[in-house]
Structure 1
Amino acid sequence: MTKIASNLQIDSARLWDTIHETAKFGATPKGGVRRLTLGPEDKQVRDWFRGACEAAGLEVHVDALGSMFGLRKGRDMSKPPVGLGSHLDTQPTGGKFDGVLGTLAALEVVRTLNDAGIETETPICIVNWTNEEGSRFAPATMASAAYAGDYTTEDILGRKDLAGVSVGEALDSIGYRGDEAVGLRKFGAFVELHIEQGPLLEAENKTIGVVDRGQGIVWYDGKITGFESHAGTTPMPLRRDALATLSEIVLAVERTAKAHGPNAVGTVGEAVIAAPSRNVIPGEIAFTVDIRSPDAKTLDAIDRDLRSAIAEIGSRRRAEITFDAIWRKPPTVFNAKLVDAIENATKALGYSHRRITSGAGHDACNLANVVPSAMVFVPCKDGVSHNELEDATQVDCTAGANVLLHTVLAIAGVAS
């Protein structure tokens, strides 16, 4: 690395300005952003991003699922580019930083290299992945998952939102169904900068999270069938109360996750009584469970213990319980050399840091299955994300972008 590269810093004010400039697209009265995938606000920010990439001298390509790729040429174009980026879509009541920081920091890396007149040995490609959030179309991170081969393009194009609009129709409506095949554009490595979306960095007063792994996730759908009966005339010992049964299952999920801690979590996120009435004992309830751990064996152990507990609860309460695993994402282990490169860049820049596990899913977690990948985290205020109150400081965002810059320089090399 040349001397100019070792002293190089991104333009903090420019990055901060672009974050707030793009926050105008879908701005909410409470200071957040509502920019649902492939809606009119998403088209606005995509058009802005395309223009900014082209102004920075990048070749912009769009694949069949609308993911955007801005290619900066390197000295050796036979090498696959270093990919960096994230996403620009948000939750219905999202913030200014989730995904946006990583995508705009990638743009800022390119702008900084341009300003310094630095040519890298390896090309660089910045990316805006379609539908990371999954708030309009399921599944979340669908474009990067299709890139990694988890879904076919046709499958994803056919997915529909609650209004019955398909992904393909939505892409066409905003003009972002590209002609490049999904997965055609190969990377030699991929690095994603993101806010932590959790409280650890802020609590420990650390500036950078060097992400070495991502949580494995198992989603379950459950159904409890008891017996509806009169709330006033049915004696307590004779009841087959589905809601009381669920209450024990909720506590079993909490107890089981704690027993396999500290790196395991469990959540009952949905519960729907089939025919609720004030004076009827609930007879049928559908519910969901979300279990996460960075260790596959822990996920298996939780599954075993939870099924055992649910069987005992159902037998004792004379309720029929179905409990089906509907989706499993194995834990992500990020590329060790890339993680080390991020940590080395962080140390060289003098930022406080810690190794950290990503509790949320990200595009980089999908990419890790097919490309050497890793992530950089920066703190967010109170660990809050997916909320209009989501916030991060200019200093921390700048630090994350500088780590991204120097990680890219370390792996892409500076042309001599």
Structure 2
Amino acid sequence: MSLQARVNGERLWASLMEMAEIGATAKGGVTRLALSDEDRRGRDLFVAWAEAAGCTVRVDAMGNIFARRAGRNDQLAPVLTGSHSDSQPAGGKFDGIYGVLAGLEVLRTLNDLGIETERPIEVVDWTNEEGSRFAPAMIASGVYAGVFDLEYGLSRVDAEGVSIGEALQRIGYAGPHPVGGQAVHAAFELHIEQGPILEAEGLTIGVVGGAQGQRWYEVELLGRSAHAGTTPMDHRLDAVLGFARVVEAVNRLGLEQGAEGRATVGMANIFPNSRNVVPGRVFFSVEFRHPDEAVLARQDQQLREAVAQVAEGIGLQHSVKQIFQYAPIAFDSDCVEVVRAASAALGYSHRPMISGAGHDACYLSRVAPTAMIFVPCVDGLSHNEAEEIHPQWATAGADVLLQSILAKAGA
């Protein structure tokens, strides 16, 4: 590890600000939906910068972009870093793209300092991490890791019926290279925290040891629609009343798990959704997240019991269907230790963390030793135009990334 090597923070920040002009929104965020014209322009700029830094660039069949800096022994498996450049609608200008451009800054810094690494280094820009245009999220890294097959990945469609394959062709990023199958020596993803912990504790670096597991449910409560004016309260089968009580139960199940617990009702449809009709049906989502699979299994049972108890108590029919299960992720212990050691050696305050969000690194960890690095974001705000980080945080994260890569690539 060469502690003399530090990134050019001003250059990194300037790159972030220039990229943020592509798809810029009036409130300071960006809209660069996956495989849109704005996404194409962002990709083109990244490719141009990578080639100017002396990288060779390849694009695979899912549109993932790999910028490669050769190593002394270029036949060795590379060290991989990167993230994604697509955004949420009216999203933030750092989510994802910070990790891509910090990876590029690492390569630029190595060029500036004349440092040659034993292994090659690759910076990747993954396609459609957000899932805001094409579902599911992280689809291209999922294909890379063998979670989904290529046909499935290319066939996902947006709200207008346009497939990923068609959109890749349209913007010129349907690459000729196979997706995955290459050995990777180690991988690091640098990302904003997207939560409030680091800033609240006055810390600079999150050493991410894993990611929470997730379980998603669709719940339906069936009562009876009735006239709001003529139906006495004690004659009602009010599905919204049941819904409100289930929401409270879900919130309680999250709180009972302490700091790592997450429980959310994020979507609801009320029928017939008329102001003078007692609602006869509510369809809604429930999501649990936790780093312990045993806790998620227990919450599954508790949810089913709570819904049944609420529904039976006021005469409703009910159904609970699990539609998605994502096991907790444990990152590679050696890669995590490399990140911790780099943070300590550089003098940055840090703490171990578990990611509450899904990231491409979660799928990548199935096929390569992987870890993540977090930096704070102001007020923990992300997926929002007001998303913000400070330049010194951006520089610190990139410095830790640089040292982590050097530790694994062999300077």
**TM-score category (smaller protein):** over 0.9
Q: TM-score, normalised by structure 2?
A: 0.99
Match in the other structure for 1:347: 344
Counterpart AA for 1:48:
L
String of CA shifts for 1:177-226, please: whole Å, max 9, x gaps.
Answer: 10111113331111000000000000000000000111111111111111
- Count of aligned pairs between the two proteins: 411
Q: Pairwise CA RMSD of aligned residues?
A: 0.9
Q: Deviations over 1:63-91 (max 9, x none)?
A: 11100001111112232100000000111
Match of 2:181 among 179, 184, 187: 184
1:214-269 Cα deviation digits (max 9, x unpaired): 11111111111111111122222221111111001100100111122231110000
Conserved in 1, the CA contact under 8 Å of 2:83 and 2:126? yes
Q: Distance in 2 between matches of 1:27 and 1:92?
A: 11
Counterpart for residue 88 of structure 2: 91
Name 2:100's counterpart in structure 1: 103
Question: What SS does structure 2 have at the residue aligned with 1:262?
Answer: helix
1:157 is matched with which residue?
154
Deviations 1:126-181 (CA, angstroms, capped at 9, x unpaired): 00000011110000111111111111111111111011111111101100010111
Instruction: Give the Cα–Cα distance (whole angstroms) in 2 for the partners of residues 15 and 115 of structure 1.
Output: 14
2:355 maps to which of 353, 358, 363: 358
Task: List per-residue Cα deviations over 1:36-64 (Å, max 9, x = no partner).
Answer: 00000000010111111111111101011
Corresponding position of 2:20: 23
Letter aligned with residue 41 of structure 1: E
What is residue 312 of structure 2 aligned with on the other side?
315
**Corresponding residue for residue 328 of structure 1:** 325
* Correspondence for 1:379: 376
Larger displacement relative to structure 2 (271-280 or 241-250): 271-280
Partner of 1:218: 215
CA contact (8 A) 1:75 1:121 kept: yes
Secondary structure at the counterpart of residue 256 of structure 1: helix
Aligned residue number for residue 401 of structure 2: 404
Deviations along 1:264-295, one digit per CA (max 9) or x if unpaired, are 11000011112111111100111001110011
TM-score by length of 1: 0.97
| Structure 1 unaligned residues grouped into runs of 5+ | none
- 1:139 paired residue among 136, 141, 150: 136
1:203 aligns with 2:218: no
- How far apart, in 2, do the equivalents of 1:274 and 1:228 lie? 8
Match of 1:300 in 2: 297
Q: Find out whether 1:32 has 2:38 as its counterpart.
A: no
- 1:124 maps onto 2:121 in alignment: yes
Which whole-Å CA distance do the structure 1 matches of 2:181 and 2:40 have between them? Answer: 23
Which of 61, 80, 98 does residue 77 from structure 2 map onto?
A: 80
Give the secondary-structure state (helix, strand or coil) at the position aligned to 1:6: coil
SS of corresponding position for 2:217 = strand
SS for the counterpart of 2:166 is: helix
2:273 to 273, 276, 299: 276
Quote how far apart the aligned CAs of 1:110 are: 0.4
- Listed as ranges, the gaps of 5+ residues in structure 2 are none
Name the structure 1 match of 2:250: 253
Residues in 2 aligned to 1:259 and 1:29: alpha-carbon distance in whole angstroms: 40
Identity of aligned residues (%): 51
